Amino acid sequence: MTDTFEIPVTESDSQPEVSDDLVDLYRGFEREYLIPLWTEIGDLMPTEPRSKARPHLWRWADLVPLAARSGELVPVGRGGERRAIALANPGLGGRPFATPTIWAAIQYLMPREDAPEHRHTQHAFRFVVEGEGVWTVVNGDSVAMRRGDFLPQAGWNWHAHHNAADAPMAWIDGLDIPYSYYTETQFFEFGRDVLSPGEMVTPSFSQSERLWAHPGLVPVAPDKSAKGSPLLAYRWQHTDEALAQQLSLESEGYDATIEPGHAAVRFADPRSGADVLPTLRCEMHRIAAGKKTAPSQVVGSSVVQVFDGSGTVTVGEHSWSVGRGDMFVVPSWQVLTIESHGDQAESDSGVLDLFWFSDAPIIEAIGAHDLHKSGGSS
């Protein structure tokens, strides 16, 4: 069956005068699968970005019970591969995409359960907002997952997940699936159904950490890792300390934060300082109690998860009160402000901590990142 389309004939100052000859011309275009730019330019080349994605909030308190229910009903194994439930932006026509370039999901593993090995060209990461007990096994390297840990994984690396605990665990996944979907660059391959006993271990430190997690130091031995960071775990204690020191230095009069009361760090490849993944930028932000960020408007989309604390988030015309685990989308060119409530009951430290991931490496590669009105995260 051949797909067909119809070019609209509209009366407008920006369109040709409607006539029978014009209609006949458009029908000829349709027969030859041609579409004139003058009927599409407003959508294809707007004067500024008009994202089809909408600002949207997902409550962690709503997501976890649904993930737990799926744990009771949906097996992990060949076919579905992962018990991952994607955030579907309500503006993207039912696609399982958080933004036009970012896939985000909650993944859930039952006690003593294993997710089988596979690999794909899409770049990925895991971030843990609560719990522990799961190890992800990347190319045979078993990497512990604990609260606050960030675990990147560049594309085309074998990986599986192993829950060594007697309790279930949930975390979030982020991938560039929409980007690779629209550019038709996807490859996927099944791996082994069962890992070897030597891989089902639970070390405190992975091989990658033993080799790469030493500040300011890189091994002189030849690096055989592919694109993306060779360090497979960025531990919360290091992230927390870096953010705390930025705010402490600010209080001492040093220029250490991106704006008053707003500390931020970017997860980077220890070899180059570049983004940890080629298509995804991942950061952690800390906003001090009572502080409010300046309005920010940038090209490119972001997904943000509240790691700790509470606050008020305003994206465009939408405003929400948020707490631990909640996730929200910032579409391209939407104005964003965030205010930290500093509620001790909602926070371990009285601040608002946000895990932030975006398509900034893609946007910077095409040179669109310089077209912005104000600061803030990219």
- Residues 197 and 219: their CA atoms lie apart, in Å, by 29
Cα distance between residue 215 and residue 45, in whole Å: 45
What pLDDT score was predicted for residue 376? 43
Does the model's pTM come out above 0.85? yes
Q: Please name the CATH architecture into which domain 56-212 falls.
A: Sandwich (2.60)
d(Cα 250, Cα 28) in Å, to the nearest integer? Answer: 66
pLDDT of residue 298: 94
Q: Which CATH number does the domain 236-365 belong to among 3.30.70.270, 1.10.10.10, 3.40.640.10, 2.60.120.10?
A: 2.60.120.10
Whole-number pLDDT of residue 181: 97
- Listed as ranges, residues in the chain with pLDDT below 50 are 373-378
**What does the DSSP 8-state code read for residue 239?**
H
CB 100 within 8 A of CB 65: no
Tell me the C-alpha distance between 136 and 374, whole Å. 38
* Distances in whole angstroms, Cα of residue 265 to Cα of each of 27, 244, 330: 55, 11, 19
**Residue range(s) occupied by CATH 2.60.120.10 in the chain:** 56-212, 236-365
Residue 70's φ and ψ, nearest 5 degrees, are -65, -30
User: What local confidence, expressed as pLDDT, does residue 377 receive?
Assistant: 46
Nearest CA among 320, 327, 332, 279 for reference residue 105 = 327
Between the two ends of the chain, the Cα-to-Cα distance in Å is 44
Using only C-alpha atoms, the chain has a radius of gyration, in whole angstroms, of 23
Please give the pLDDT value at position 225: 74
Residue 107 burial class via C-beta count within 10 angstroms: exposed 0-12, middle 13-18, buried 19 and up: buried
pLDDT in tens, 190-206: 999 889 998 999 999 99
